[in-house]
Amino acid sequence: MENFNVYKDIQDRTNGEIYIGVVGPVRTGKSTFIKKFMDTVVIPNIPDGLQRERAVDELPQSSAGRTIMTTEPKFIPEQAVSVQIDNEAMFSVRMIDCVGYIVPSAIGYIEEDQPRMVRTPWFDEPIPFNMAAEIGTKKVITEHSTIGLVITTDGSISDIPREEYEEAEERVIDELNQTNRPFVILLNCVDPGNPESRALGARLSEKYGVPVLPVNCIDITEQGIKDIIASLLYQFPVREVALNVPGWVASLGADHWLYSSVFGIIKDSCGITRMREVKSMLESVRACDSIQSLNVRKIDLGSGCAHVDLIFDQSLFYKILSEKTELDIRDESELLAQLIEMTQIKKTFQKLSQAYDDVLESGYGIVMPDVEELTLEEPQILKQNGKYGIRLKATAPSIHMLRTQINTEITPIVGSEQQSEELVLYLLKEFEENPVKIWESNIFGKSLHSLVNEGMHNKLYRMPNDAREKVRETIERIINDGCSGLICIIL
């Protein structure tokens, strides 16, 4: 179990009001357990002396044998008392004892071969003892308790056989399940370590889906009581299971195979309701091939929250990174090298990006020079109209981008007129079905895209170097000297 303070957590879970309904068949040790619980946990921690004495006087009677000792539901103590344990947990506690459901061999509910009649707070007239016992037990289960303890036995604590407890045991557990209150089952045994008793506890736990703890209610220790409370804490509802994934996984998007596989398993595992089911949920998540391990940071039984980190194999990160960037990145050194290279590319593109946007918008863009690219010539003194001044001359390179429309055409000679018509019909059909796919059409062993691309490249690179130089010089002169509205280019 996790390292936690059971008393502090049970205080948080019950808002400081712990009303424990102790139910089960008659003659299973309910009153014995209540007395031991009060003597061990509650009474020593009641600060008020008078309250402490009153609580001792209100402890239930218990004895061995078949005779039913409890005749009506009883609150112990009569009024809830505040206790402080371990200088941390402060809560009000009260236990509710009940008669329990009758088992055939018990003594005390039949008098002179007639049902024993008793008076109850619920009816004006006396009612049969077994009816009063059932009504009282149901009220303890449904009205008076915040958590439940079902106490049954393996049959070793008295001469009543185990089989006689089974029907009453099933009834009380079914009724508790309907309330959705957290509860556990205590299997009262003379020897809780006996293999047969432990095997019975395992069978009952599997049958009812609730923890079953073999105990000896007479000899139970404070640590044993802490274990019981801890088991009860695991029966409280789950409020939140926070599964923390690395940021790079969360950023992939729902359509990515890793994201969908991981969160698909998490979604399939989220049908849990109790804290004890968190462990099985995490085992299901751990089964995902992409998850290397889990780091359980915190399971807070007081709040019903669990915080778990999902750890992924580092190689998976580089695999996804390579997929997304179309770069071969296998480890940290390659990642660093790519980042350095891309940083340089980014700096270069940032300088060009505005001009590129202008080209797309207006057909013309200019990359302005940076300060470090400026060349300042030596200042010169000027005389003009009897006055003197200073000439400061600077030069700097600028980049000019132009967008031009390039026309190209291909005229494949395919043979006869009929063959040409068939080729045209084929291309038109491709264009109607999928305009993009027409570029993949094969003509003379090459795709249409390749043929058109070759034609454009031939035109673009056919411009001679001296013509390019003259265009550059022309733009330079227009910028520096102006054009007065007239531009004449002779190539």
Choose which CATH entry (2.40.30.10, 3.40.50.300, 3.40.718.10, 3.30.465.10) describes domain 6-233: 3.40.50.300
In angstroms, rounded to a whole number, what is the distance separating the alpha carbons of residues 266 and 280?
A: 12
- 191 close to 217: Cβ distance less than 8 angstroms: no
| Helix extents (H) in 77-221 | 129-139, 166-179, 195-208
In angstroms, rounded to a whole number, what is the distance separating the alpha carbons of residues 479 and 483?
A: 8
What pLDDT score does 54 carry? 85
Domain boundaries, the chain: 6-233, 240-321, 348-403, 407-491
What pLDDT score does 230 carry? 86
What pLDDT score does 444 carry? 63
Residues 6+ apart with CB under 8 A from 464: none
Centroid of chain to Cα 144: 35
With CA atoms as reference, report the closest residue to 445 among 436, 454, 457.
454
What is the three-class DSSP state of 382? strand
Query: What DSSP character marks residue 484?
Result: T
Instruction: Classify residue 344 as exposed, middle or buried by CB count within 10 Å of its CB (0-12, 13-18, 19+).
Output: exposed
In angstroms, rounded to a whole number, what is the distance separating the alpha carbons of residues 321 and 377?
A: 49
Beta strands in 2-55 (DSSP E): 17-23
Sign of CA dihedral 104, 108, 109, 114: positive
Give every residue of the chain whose pLDDT is below 50, as ranges.
1, 3
Q: Which two tokens stand for residue 228?
A: 């019981």
Q: Which two tokens stand for residue 468?
A: 């390019």
Residues 6+ apart with CB under 8 A from 230: 1, 4, 6, 301
Instruction: Classify residue 318 as exposed, middle or buried by CB count within 10 Å of its CB (0-12, 13-18, 19+).
Output: middle
Beta strands in 48-170 (DSSP E): 74-85, 89-97, 110-111, 114-115, 117-118, 127-128, 147-153
Instruction: Classify residue 299 as exposed, middle or buried by CB count within 10 Å of its CB (0-12, 13-18, 19+).
Output: buried
What pLDDT score does 69 carry? 66
What pLDDT score does 16 carry? 80
What is the three-class DSSP state of 33? helix
Residues 6+ apart with CB under 8 A from 275: 233, 234, 235, 236, 237, 238, 299, 301, 304, 306
What is the three-class DSSP state of 143? helix
In angstroms, rounded to a whole number, what is the distance separating the alpha carbons of residues 148 and 174?
A: 13
pTM of the predicted model, to two decimals?
Answer: 0.66
Amino acid in position 281: M
Strands 17-23, 127-128: pairing kind: unpaired
CA distances (Å), origin 366, targets 19, 402, 448, 463, 477: 80, 9, 34, 22, 15
Residues 6+ apart with CB under 8 A from 40: 220, 221, 222, 225
What pLDDT score does 153 carry? 93
Q: Hey, which residues does 152 pair with through a beta bridge?
A: 187
Other beta carbons within 10 angstroms of residue 284's beta carbon come to 14
What pLDDT score does 193 carry? 92
- 94 close to 80: Cβ distance less than 8 angstroms: yes
- 213 close to 186: Cβ distance less than 8 angstroms: yes
Q: Name the CATH topology of 240-321.
A: Ubiquitin-like (UB roll) (3.10.20)
- 273 close to 238: Cβ distance less than 8 angstroms: yes
What pLDDT score does 107 carry? 77
- 406 close to 456: Cβ distance less than 8 angstroms: yes
- 79 close to 48: Cβ distance less than 8 angstroms: no
What is the three-class DSSP state of 243? strand
What pLDDT score does 190 carry? 92
What pLDDT score does 490 carry? 61
Beta strands in 301-386 (DSSP E): 305-312, 364-367, 375-376, 380-384
